[in-house]
Amino acid sequence: MIMKAKLILRRSGLFLLTTITLMLLSPKWVFPAAAWFAPFLIILLIAPLKPWKAYLLAVLTLFGASLFSLYKVMPFPGIFFPIMTFVISLQSAIPYLVNRVLYPRIQHWTKTLVFPFALVIGEYLTSFGGGGSWSSISYTQVTNSFLIQAVSLGGIWLIAFVIGWFASLIFFLVEQRCYWQAVRTPAMGFSVLLIALTLFGFAKTNSFFDARRNTVRVAGIATSHVPLLQTMYEDTFGSTVTVVRTISRRILRSLPS
């Protein structure tokens, strides 16, 4: 009885921690570091459950966190907000279901690639919907000037893959109790990938590596849709919002003068 109570308490604490971490991904106060651990916590939370229960818990966790984090972010009035939030949660939980079903069936370190591929495919297919790719986990890394440069290599999907692989790899490390012989290959593979992307981003944003002789100054005209979105937000929620557009100082320094 005591063991069961401890298990319930432990799982409740994990559920609460996972929900809070997901809330930190809100566009209102995004914490980039939370994006690296939130998927891992969901995988860890649903791992002991049967697939259908795991999917249901993932949906409820994402839905509960999204009700708080996306409030006054998505311009859906009244009952439409929780409905759309629930639909998004149903879609977002699918990669976790795929991982829960396939991961235990693979007896090799390649099982760590199931979730990142499922995450990328899920986000890619969802991007064809009305909201596009706006909910991609990749956008949480926009302030990471080095890593965000990977978009020029594989789009936002490459960043989503790296984050997804990190989550799956950490779960694999926990599962294997950090036994080096078992985790060496995926750990080294991920480290090489992350270091390579970081060095690529460093080189791309550093003026020392900038081949200025091959650059040409161009100009363009683009219309801003921010005023329209601000008006829609005010009409929906009855309050105003100020959009602050910033750009990394490191990127500014790397631009040709």
pTM across the whole model: 0.82
- State the Cα angle at 70 between 65 and 74, rounded to 5°: 150
For residue 231, tell me if it sits in a domain: no
On the question of pLDDT at 111 being above 70, the answer is yes
Number of structural domains in the chain: 1
**Terminal Cα distance for the chain, rounded:** 70
80-92 helix and 94-102 helix, angle to the nearest 10 degrees: 30
Token pair for residue 246?
């910033």
Count Cα neighbours of 183 within 13 Å in the Cβ-side half-sphere. Answer: 17
Better pLDDT: 72 or 19: 19
Rounded to whole angstroms, the Cα distance separating 169 from 190 reads 8
192 phi, psi to nearest 5 deg: -60, -45
SS3 call for 52: helix
SS3 call for 163: helix
Rounded to whole angstroms, the Cα distance separating 39 from 163 reads 8
On the question of pLDDT at 58 being above 80, the answer is yes
For residue 97, tell me if it sits in a domain: yes
What range defines the domain where residue 46 resides? Answer: 2-211
Is residue 23 within 8 Å of residue 65, measured between CB atoms?
yes
Q: Which amino acid is at 239?
A: S
* The predicted structure's pLDDT at residue 257: 47
For residue 222, tell me if it sits in a domain: no
For residue 235, tell me if it sits in a domain: no
Q: Percent of the chain having pLDDT more than 70? A: 83
**What is the Cα Rg of the chain in Å?**
21
Count Cα neighbours of 198 within 13 Å in the Cβ-side half-sphere. Answer: 8
Better pLDDT: 224 or 206: 206
SS3 call for 80: helix
On the question of pLDDT at 245 being above 70, the answer is no
List, in sequence order, every beta strand (DSSP E) within 22-157.
none
On the question of pLDDT at 256 being above 50, the answer is no
For residue 42, tell me if it sits in a domain: yes
* The predicted structure's pLDDT at residue 186: 94
Per the listing, tokens 């480290």 go with: 191
Q: What is the mean pLDDT of residues 134-162?
A: 92
Q: What is the mean pLDDT of residues 125-151?
A: 89
For residue 246, tell me if it sits in a domain: no
For residue 84, tell me if it sits in a domain: yes
For residue 250, tell me if it sits in a domain: no
Phi-psi region of 72 (alpha: psi -120 to 50; beta: other; left: phi over 0): left
On the question of pLDDT at 213 being above 60, the answer is no
